[in-house]
Amino acid sequence: MNTFQKIGERLEDLGLNGLQILQNPDHFCFGIDAVLLAWYASGSVHYKTRTIDLGTGTGVIPLLLYGRTGTRHIDALEIQPEMADMAKRSVALNDLNATIHVTCGDLRHPGSAFHSSSYDVVVCNPPYMRTDRGKLNPRDNLAIARHEITCTLADVAGFAKTMLKDRGKLFLIQRADRLVDLATVLREHQLEIKRLRPVYPSPGKPANLLLIEAMKKGRPHAIIETPLMVYQSDGQYSREINAIYGTPGPQKK
Amino acid sequence: MNTFQKIGERLEDLGLNGLQILQNPDHFCFGIDAVLLAWYASGSVHYKTRTIDLGTGTGVIPLLLYGRTGTRHIDALEIQPEMADMAKRSVALNDLNATIHVTCGDLRHPGSAFHSSSYDVVVCNPPYMRTDRGKLNPRDNLAIARHEITCTLADVAGFAKTMLKDRGKLFLIQRADRLVDLATVLREHQLEIKRLRPVYPSPGKPANLLLIEAMKKGRPHAIIETPLMVYQSDGQYSREINAIYGTPGPQKK
């Protein structure tokens, strides 16, 4: 156990340039949605891009974005102190304190730590569940990560509208059944969906997730990209998913 | 040439129970979008369903809906007198005057011919182009069929909101790049997208069309269905498209 690791935590290899991340199986661990979102956003993140990840959790998206792009500035905001602390320690153990800046705070009240119209890219893997749907998980940090307790789509869109430069981009992953919520809330906040990639769990099933790229003050014109299939009918990961896990770059479809 | 046919018109076989339709190559002829929409809607059309087709053009959707379902009541509204006349003659030559009722009129001012909250199903293959986009075709009936000159998405949604029963369904086909317009306009009119099927021209290309089922006063929950591929990579119609052209029934995906 290294000096950054606490009891109960495990150290995972991200399979990307030797990057590692702390995870605690008792808390919320990152899943394929974070991997897909980091991959989807990485085509718009370059060396000088100013990026912020909202609700960063254990910091997986900033680490993956850095690993894919070598970008030099990512801010990360997390409302739960113990998660923010774990993310900070993961950043430190990868020696990335100069690149990834984790702040514990509430995106609904960002205060003076963040400057309006200063970001090129906002990334967010928001809670999927409306609080009026589904059973709330009694373990708080799971409930907060999964339900819109501390952050709704409108909160995310409001932050992005304020903090993005004009023509800056918001990247989201969200449950497919919330498509209309997404489209309406984003447009209400001057964020126009430019690309949408439906993610299908396997052939013959409806999409369960949507990858979204929206542009601040973009003109209305959405590209509905090719379906992204996670599993093939034989139960193996598709070739594209294997490529996402195994390679640094995204390809626009 | 039969008594229903005018000079310049040709009689096409719809490949469905011997149904035929008049088409004039100098006017707007129906395409695959009408065939897909009639197929998509037909799963919700039964013997007693009260259906109306907005902007029926040459009447292809009512004829296909009747052919697929045997339903006994379809109203059809068309703003262009010569198109409405052609649709009426196609209905007559198929001996369907008791089933399909074509009215020449403007859906923005439906008048007393239609009763509010009286329809189970509204179908519409609306113009795809906003009038601020693309060149307007100088031949009026083509321009009216393709551009939102006489009917915008909001006009269609307004008619559907008024004329549908609660939980009645609106079926649309629309260009994929107008997804956000669709989602926002429909929700503004209490029409909630319940199913969305993206239509891809061929593998590796973005979707060009969306098939939509929306429900009046439905709760927000959209199913993003499996991709509908038109052409295979070898340039042949996909098996599903062949099935749609060759069989009467739809399957929910």
Angstrom CA distances, A119 to A72, A159, B175, stand at 13, 11, 32
Distance from CA of A81 to the nearest CA of B (A): 33
Q: pLDDT per residue over B31-76, tens digit each?
A: 899 999 999 999 999 999 999 999 999 999 999 999 999 999 999 9
Give the SS3 label for residue B185.
Answer: helix
CB contact under 8 A, A225 and B204: no
Q: pLDDT per residue over B80-133, tens digit each?
A: 999 999 999 999 999 999 999 999 999 998 888 899 999 999 999 987 666 665
Give the SS3 label for residue A90.
Answer: helix
Rounded Cα distance, A59 and A76, in Å: 7
Distance from CA of A114 to the nearest CA of B (A): 30
Contacts 24+ apart (CB under 8 A), B13-19: B14/B60, B14/B63, B14/B64, B14/B67, B15/B245, B15/B246, B16/B63, B16/B64, B16/B67, B16/B68, B16/B248, B17/B67, B19/B63, B19/B64, B19/B66, B19/B67, B19/B94
Which of the pair, B13 or A150, is modelled with greater confidence? B13
Residue B252 pLDDT greater than 60, yes or no: no
* pLDDT (0 to 100) of residue A128: 66
The H helix count followed by the E strand count for chain B is: 7, 11
Under-70 pLDDT residues of chain A: 1, 128-142, 144-145, 149, 247-253
CB contact under 8 A, A223 and B177: yes
Closest CA to A199 of A231, A233, A159, A222: A231
Q: Provide the pLDDT confidence category of residue B135 given band limits of 50, 70 and 90.
A: low
Q: Nearest CB to B183: which of A179, A205, A226?
A: A179
- Maximum distance among all Cα pairs of chain B, rounded to whole angstroms: 52
Name the pTM for this structure: 0.91
Give A240's Cβ-side CA count (13 Å radius): 19
CB contact under 8 A, A180 and B192: yes
Domains and CATH numbers, chain B: 46-245 (3.40.50.150)
Q: Nearest CB to B180: which of A176, A205, A220?
A: A220
Distance from CA of A237 to the nearest CA of B (A): 18
Token code pair at residue B141: 């009936």
**Preferred mutation among A129, A133, A179, A252 to probe B, highest tally of B CBs within 10 A:** A179
Q: Provide the pLDDT confidence category of residue B144 given band limits of 50, 70 and 90.
A: low
Dihedral sign computed on CA atoms, order B156, B162, B163, B166: positive
Which residues of chain A are at the B interface, by a Cβ-Cβ cutoff of 8 Å? 176-181, 183-184, 186-187, 192-193, 196, 198, 200, 203-207, 210, 220-227, 253
* pLDDT (0 to 100) of residue B133: 55
- Comparing B22-31, B194-203, B223-232, the range with the smallest average pLDDT is B22-31
Which of the pair, B145 or B26, is modelled with greater confidence? B26
Q: Nearest residue of B to residue A194 by CA position?
A: B177
Judge if ipTM > 0.85: yes
**Considering only CB atoms, which chain A residues are within 8 Å of B200?**
226-227
Residue B251 pLDDT greater than 80, yes or no: no
Strand-pairing partners, residue B53, are B76, B123
* pLDDT (0 to 100) of residue B249: 46
CB contact under 8 A, A222 and B192: no
Q: Is A179:B183 a contact under the CB 8 Å cutoff?
A: yes
Distance from CA of A120 to the nearest CA of B (A): 23
